[in-house]
Chains A and B, each alone.
Chain A
Amino acid sequence: MAAPTTEGSDRETGETLLTLHRSGRLAAEYPRVRGLLAGCSEAELRRAGNLLSRLRPEDVRQAHPGVPVVSVAVTGHGTLAPLVPALTAELARHGLLLRPHLADYDSYVFDLSDPGSTLRRFDADVVLCVLDPAVVLDELPVPWTPEDVERAWDEKLGLLTGLVTRYRSTGRGTLVLNTVPLPALLPAQLLEHRSRARLGAVWRQANSRLLELAQSHPGLVVLDLDPLVAEGIAVTDERLSQYAKVHLAPPLLARYAREVGHLARHLAGRTKKALLLDLDGTLWNGTLGEDGFDVLQGDHSEPFRFLQRVVRQLGSQGVLLGVVSKNDVEPVRAVLREHPRMVLREEDLVTVVANWRPKHENIAELAGTLNLGTDSFVFMDDTPAECGLVEAELPGVTVLRAGAEPAHHVATLLRDGWFDTLVLTTEDRARVEKYQQEVERRDFLQQSASVEEYLRLLGVRVRLSPVAPSEVARVSQLSLRTNQFNMTLSRLQPADVARLVAGPATSVLVVHAADRFGDNGLVGAVFLRRAADVVHIDGFLLSCRVFSRGIEQACLGAILRHARAAGATAVVGEHRRGPKNGAVRDLYPRHGFRQVTDDGTTTVFRHDLDSEDPLPVPAHLQFTDQCGGDTP
């Protein structure tokens, strides 16, 4: 199947969107929008943002209740209305629906500090406080000196630090600040080079202090605009700034919106987990089948070695790496092990797939082995036909088209922050090894006579305990990443988890697992709440790596025993229907709960604790219960 060219698909995208807009069917056809926006130009994206931002989010939601909604509140100093269409388009690119709130002009101080402000009552998932040069420039006297700029920044930084602290103590949602690039018209007003240097130093110190706020306030994001401006985007549009108080130029606002789109995708649990790469023409120059060990030679190989370094860099931070190539497997393995110029090695990869089958079949099979959805994969290939086929057969996979110029491969890979995350945990750094163990476990299962024998020989050890402070970030991350075994689709940020830990009637338990192949680490979490004499399981998460080993039964059994010992009369659990958690819909009834209600999206189950030990630990498991009196 031939893939459409970029130019052709751009035209097609624009026309289709426009046709849908003209016929009033954009809301009805919203799930198509993600595909239509993939790979379209900045100009098309700008127009698409205008058209999409005219839709009422509630109309889209009504037509498609399954579309994930991310609510974003926008506040700041200048006119920020142009940011809303850009955000609408960027979220739509990731299959998300924006529910926006635009605060009144220059109201950020009140918005963030007063718990009763309209913005705070909006209860956003993400709060953008957009800082622009005028935040400081509006405070300067005429004439001014670098010392005046320093004083103005000092005041603003003091104010912002206070706002962040106040917002974080009571507000939900991720607060986003940004650094403020130095506009060229400012240093140009100083005639003396020494003064200009002083101004530059003062300005950079202020931005450094902004960035350091993110180190001392977990849950605060400070977007650094300097690297975005360095791509060649103007900071200000003087007409818009002076006449309409749009103090950051619309192209920079659009670029900022793209970063927010990556953050929203992460917060909605849609971060990609695995990167699969083609070999010939993508990871090395030359064709292995013809050139043998002569691939990756000469000056032409430098862009490919750069890409390999970047891919390894991603892998070291928890992205699962694999290669999928149409080649014989032995020569591929030989190059990965022995080629002197290779940067990426076999041990960096969770899988090496080299055969002559269609790539989409290999990817689907790999998804099964790793127990991931195909929408967790990013696939990069330089052959348009391969890209088109994977796109057509596996629409969930994000396909990156490595173009004709290899020097741009790294930019193509990094452009959309597919793997961005709020925090990295120790689990991330050891992830590759864990998934390599998973592949070994699969082989072991295939060699076992029965599932029972497999489980017995696997030697699973499970520990259930109250969450430790150092594990809060990992629990948050697990809730953001887990789509399959996520009973109530919990999406908790670290502050939300901390709140549950501190609450008088709530508690958070964590599940650690290990087996003969190694330590799985922290693989599950349970959120409990006591109300009168009933214990509610508000959330239950388990990593897809450890399904079907009886771990869930052991944990539920412990929860029932603790509830009974604490004098509760029942335990109530819920299943909230999501696109991928259908397999755990019968978790509670399979373990002795009975269904109480079902409103079409949420099913409620209840266990009446009518026997001494209603749910024993499975015989093949070694279970350690460290909860003591810590369950409600």
Chain B
Amino acid sequence: MTSIDDFIAIIRDEIGIPVEADDAGRHFDQLPGWDSVFLLQLLTALERETGRRISLPDVLDCPDLKSVYALATAS
């Protein structure tokens, strides 16, 4: 996963939610069809993709997809 586009593709293909790159900064409350349980599925998919552990409570605190991406790519 090297770009936000890859990240969006994972959400679309693994979680099945039709998001666009423009949606990354929208609060989850404004994201149509979003459910907090998707964050758990997303975390699993990202850990598999990146081979790294990501803090689950940090992910649960994220207000939007952009912040999840930042967590997943933080060095």
Known: A243-B60, A244-B60. A21 touches B16 (CB 8 A): yes
Instruction: Tell me, rounded to whole Å, the shortest Cβ–Cβ distance linking A11 to chain B.
Output: 14
Bitwise interface map of B from 1 to 37 toward A, beta carbon under 8 Å scored 1, else 0 = 0000000000011111100000000000000010101
Bitwise interface map of B from 41 to 63 toward A, beta carbon under 8 Å scored 1, else 0 = 10010000000000011001000
Binding site secondary structure of chain A: helix
Known: A21-B13, A50-B16, A81-B35. A239 touches B41 (CB 8 A): no
Q: Does B70 contact A (CB under 8 A)?
A: no
- CB closest residue in chain A, given B48: A43
CA distance A22 to B15 in the complex (A): 12
Known: A18-B13, A21-B13, A21-B16. A50 touches B41 (CB 8 A): yes
Known: A243-B56, A243-B57, A244-B56. A53 touches B16 (CB 8 A): yes
**Is B14 a contact of A239 with CB atoms below 8 Å?**
no
CA distance A51 to B38 in the complex (A): 12
CA distance A54 to B35 in the complex (A): 11
What B residues does A81 contact at CB under 8 A?
35, 37, 40
Q: Does A179 contact B (CB under 8 A)?
A: no
**Is B13 a contact of A246 with CB atoms below 8 Å?**
no
**Is B16 a contact of A54 with CB atoms below 8 Å?**
yes
CA distance A81 to B17 in the complex (A): 16
- Count of chain A residues with Cβ under 8 Å from any Cβ of B? 18
What B residues does A240 contact at CB under 8 A?
40, 56
What A residues does B15 contact at CB under 8 A?
50
What B residues does A51 contact at CB under 8 A?
13, 16
Q: Does A550 contact B (CB under 8 A)?
A: no
**Is B57 a contact of A79 with CB atoms below 8 Å?**
no
Q: Does A99 contact B (CB under 8 A)?
A: no
Instruction: Tell me, rounded to whole Å, the shortest Cβ–Cβ distance linking A188 to chain B.
Output: 23
What A residues does B35 contact at CB under 8 A?
81
Known: A239-B56, A240-B56, A244-B56. A82 touches B13 (CB 8 A): no
Task: Identify which of B13, B14, B17, B40 contacts A244 (C-beta below 8 A).
Answer: B40
Instruction: Tell me, rounded to whole Å, the shortest Cβ–Cβ distance linking A378 to chain B.
Output: 32
Instruction: Tell me, rounded to whole Å, the shortest Cβ–Cβ distance linking B33 to chain A.
Output: 8
What B residues does A239 contact at CB under 8 A?
56
Instruction: Tell me, rounded to whole Å, the shortest Cβ–Cβ distance linking B12 to chain A.
Output: 8
**Is B56 a contact of A82 with CB atoms below 8 Å?**
no
| Residue among B12, B13, B35, B44 facing the most chain A CB atoms (10 A cut-off) | B13
Task: Identify which of A79, A82, A243 contacts B41 (C-beta below 8 A).
Answer: A82
What A residues does B16 contact at CB under 8 A?
21, 50-51, 53-54
Interface size class of B (residues with CB under 8 A): 10 to 19
**Is B37 a contact of A54 with CB atoms below 8 Å?**
no
- CB closest residue in chain B, given A79: B37
Q: Does A577 contact B (CB under 8 A)?
A: no
- CB closest residue in chain B, given A81: B37
**Is A82 a contact of B57 with CB atoms below 8 Å?**
no
Q: Does A620 contact B (CB under 8 A)?
A: no
What A residues does B41 contact at CB under 8 A?
50, 82, 85
Known: A79-B37, A244-B40. A47 touches B14 (CB 8 A): yes
CA distance A239 to B17 in the complex (A): 24
CA distance A18 to B41 in the complex (A): 17
Instruction: Tell me, rounded to whole Å, the shortest Cβ–Cβ distance linking B15 to chain A.
Output: 6
**Is A82 a contact of B17 with CB atoms below 8 Å?**
no
- CB closest residue in chain B, given A244: B40
- CB closest residue in chain B, given A55: B16
Known: A244-B56, A244-B60. A50 touches B37 (CB 8 A): no
CA distance A390 to B35 in the complex (A): 43
CA distance A79 to B57 in the complex (A): 15
Instruction: Tell me, rounded to whole Å, the shortest Cβ–Cβ distance linking B23 to chain A.
Output: 16
**Is A82 a contact of B37 with CB atoms below 8 Å?**
yes
**Is A50 a contact of B60 with CB atoms below 8 Å?**
no
**Is A50 a contact of B14 with CB atoms below 8 Å?**
yes
Instruction: Tell me, rounded to whole Å, the shortest Cβ–Cβ distance linking B27 to chain A.
Output: 20
What B residues does A53 contact at CB under 8 A?
16
**Is A82 a contact of B40 with CB atoms below 8 Å?**
yes
Bitwise interface map of A from 218 to 252 toward B, beta carbon under 8 Å scored 1, else 0 = 00000000000000000000011001101000100
Instruction: Tell me, rounded to whole Å, the shortest Cβ–Cβ distance linking A245 to chain B.
Output: 11
What A residues does B44 contact at CB under 8 A?
250
CA distance A47 to B48 in the complex (A): 13
What A residues does B33 contact at CB under 8 A?
54
What A residues does B40 contact at CB under 8 A?
81-82, 240, 244, 246
11 pairs from A and B in contact (CB 8 Å cutoff): A21-B13, A21-B16, A22-B12, A50-B14, A50-B16, A51-B13, A51-B16, A243-B56, A244-B40, A244-B60, A246-B40
Which 3 A-B pairs give the minimum distances between C-beta atoms? A81-B37, A54-B16, A51-B16
Known: A51-B13, A54-B16. 10 other contacts (CB 8 A): A18-B13, A47-B13, A50-B15, A50-B16, A50-B41, A79-B37, A81-B35, A82-B40, A239-B56, A243-B60
